[in-house]
Amino acid sequence: MEHQHQYDAQGKQICCTQQEKIYAKAGAKELLKNGHTETDGHDHSEHGDDDGHDHSGGSDNTFKMFLPAIISLVLLLLAIAFDNWIQQAWFTGWVRIIWYVAAYAPVGFPVIKEAIVSVSKGEIFSEFLLMSIATVGAFSIQEFPEGVAVMLFYAVGEVFQTLAVKRAKANIKSLLDQRPDEVTILENNQPKTIKAEAAKIGDIIQLKSGEKLGLDGELISDTASFNTAALTGESKPDTKAKGEIVLAGMINLNTVAQVKVTTAYTDSKLSKILELVQNATAQKAPTELFIRKFAKIYTPIVVLLAVLICVVPMLFVENYVFSQWLYRALIFLVISCPCALVISIPLGYFGGIGAASKNGILFKGSNFLDIMAGIQNVVMDKTGTMTEGVFKVQEVNIKPEFNKDEILQMVNVLESQSTHPVATAIHEYVGEINASIQLNRTEEIAGHGLKAEINGKELLVGNFKLMDKFSIKYDIDPNTIVYTLIAIAYDKNFAGYLTIADVIKEDAQEAVNKLHSMNVKLTMLSGDKTNVVKFVADKLGIDNAFGDLLPEDKVNKVKEIKSRNETVAFVGDGVNDAPVVALSDAGIAMGGLGSDATIETADVVIQDDRPSKIAIAINIGKQTKKIVWQNITLAFAVKAVVLVLGAGGLATMWEAVFADVGVALLAILNAVRIQRMKF
């Protein structure tokens, strides 16, 4: 993918590393947070820019990262040769010590510097300090080759870790970096290229074939086909007609198209997606939080044990040799570094967030990956979630004593105050709004409908509960009609009703089948008529269904499920779903048709409104949790074995390096594996 530059509010280009540098050590795991880097005070620059891009050329940059280790290796190999095979008379005493110090310096001094910085910030028991003590200790007992070798392999391991992290981060970067930095607008019918964020609402963007749209807008060309993969994870072409909304990140597939900007650059759907993913790691999973707390307790305990290993045998061992027991203690320290846990676990969750983004699903925090993995109940809205939310007026029944056209014109004007799909259906059916009709005292009654005053007379448009609320008498039984009904009353009299039909989404059945295969119970809650809700639920095989619900009724139903100590995910798209989305263990919003309030409240956002993605979100949560626990088990098992061997004098520094750096590398490779999985 071609790299797209980004600009700040003043039009200055922002460097990628400035926005999204990943630090590969403990205390610096706020990946992609708030568009800038929050550091832990550790300077990891010795591993190169960690932004997913090789700014100085891929191979050159990688070589620079390995250069200190290469220098150290060459000096170490020469020193070992002088010691054992090509003995030199001058290679003794201070000359030999200085040579080994020179071999140690390129890889050891940066770590010692990190240790000093950590201690100055109150982080005493860091892995940097442990490695420094272990290697300096090896020098103190004249184990020069091993002291250099341990730090050398540690440094090489760190570079490989950084490359692995960089690769994982680059995968996320390719998903996020979707907006072009420039757009072409028409000014006096002449094309003019400007920065995307400089475009204003009302500007006309000219989009050539193959170009990516920079801002949300309304298509003013007759038709155009777009690749929407940047937003939905689906590469299937989506053909839009004149007047339809097109979003930033969509790619024009065929002829030149013109789009009228309707949303500011910073308020576009894609901007919100970027913000969600950039902030996603701010909320940590319980496992991450536990490991951080654990490392703070675990490391000082191991340091104390290392001291005891060195000192206590003095009281019990007859032929106690201080240097031997110090060596064992130093090995114990190297093994104790919690690198594998502290690096691979946040990376595992980051990988899960990236895999979800690739599938058009946005997790607002790694903690929600854990929650989704354990979901037992999925409670869903009907309209816009399991159905298209695209209504069509099927039948109009207006009583003969009323003027049909006049009533429909008034209803059209009142419904124009609402963003509900039903209002759109009525507008499409009736046509242009009659500007001569003046509304007064307009009021939306949650779960019921709309009320207004026209010509001093009351107009009510909504469900039949609205009629009951205002004591309007009607002569039909709403339960006999398996369609959504819109009742109308004017001047205290029932004027008639409209029937409106919705269409079940094409993948709704697939979603139900997948969730049932995971032993997840399904419940449908809706403000629509009970018989309509039951009809849809029965057709799809949903376990329970309830209709005629107000927002507070939905909240009570979810509370009832939670009272059984079962985890609940609620899926919705409307403003009235926001309270129940907030109440559930995991709130899922349909991000295409969904209201901003629901998307803001939700923990997970499905971008293309496909209910089958609910099962994918749960599966990604399960796989992420599985990988994280594999890493925890691997790290603890290997460290436990080598710690025992080290304490007993059966492990050397080489085994210690594997237990630390080797396991960390294996854990990281396992963590990034999730981004290659197909869901």
Place of tokens 């540098």: 21
Phi, psi angle pair for 494, to nearest 5°? -70, 120
Give the whole-angstrom CA distance, residue 608 versus residue 74.
55
Q: Residue 206, Cα to own-chain centre: how many angstroms?
A: 32
Give the whole-angstrom CA distance, residue 5 versus residue 17.
12
Place of tokens 């570094």: 337
Give the whole-angstrom CA distance, residue 675 versus residue 666.
16
Nearest alpha-carbon partner for 151 in 69, 88, 74: 69
Strand partners, 194: 183
Strand partners, 260: 204, 218
Other C-beta atoms lying within 10 Å of the C-beta of residue 88: 11
Please give the sequence-ordered ranges of beta strands (E in DSSP) within 359-502, or none if there are none. Answer: 361-363, 377-380, 392-398, 440-445, 449-454, 457-462, 484-490, 493-501
For residue 141, give the 3-state DSSP assignment.
coil
Helix orientation angle between 144-176 and 58-84, rounded to the nearest 10 degrees? 170
Give the whole-angstrom CA distance, residue 647 versus residue 309.
7
Strand partners, 669: none
381 is catalytic: yes
Question: Burial, 522: exposed, middle or buried (Cβ in 10 Å; 0-12, 13-18, 19+)?
Answer: buried
Give the whole-angstrom CA distance, residue 412 versus residue 434.
8
Q: Are 565 and 580 in contact (CB under 8 A)?
A: no
Nearest alpha-carbon partner for 115 in 135, 139, 98: 135
Check 50, 51, 238, 381 and give the catalytic one.
381
- Fill in the DSSP letter of residue 197: G
Q: Are 621 and 352 in contact (CB under 8 A)?
A: yes
Q: Which residues 6+ apart lie within 8 Å of 517 measured at CB?
A: none
The pair of three-digit structure tokens given for residue 194, joined into one six-digit string = 């400007």
Long-range pairs of 320-327 with CB within 8 A, sequence gap ≥ 24: 323/141, 324/649, 326/137, 326/140, 326/141, 327/138, 327/141, 327/143
Dihedral sign for Cα 234, 271, 23, 46, please.
positive
Other C-beta atoms lying within 10 Å of the C-beta of residue 319: 5
Strand partners, 206: 258
Nearest alpha-carbon partner for 520 in 539, 542, 540: 542
Phi, psi angle pair for 57, to nearest 5°? 95, 135
Place of tokens 């594998």: 340
Give the whole-angstrom CA distance, residue 562 versus residue 569.
10
Give the whole-angstrom CA distance, residue 297 versus residue 304.
11
Phi, psi angle pair for 349, to nearest 5°? -70, -40
Nearest alpha-carbon partner for 228 in 243, 245, 204: 245
Give the C-alpha distances (Å, rounded to integers) separating 314 from 484, 536, 591. Answer: 86, 78, 67
Give the whole-angstrom CA distance, residue 640 versus residue 570.
42
Catalytic residues: 381
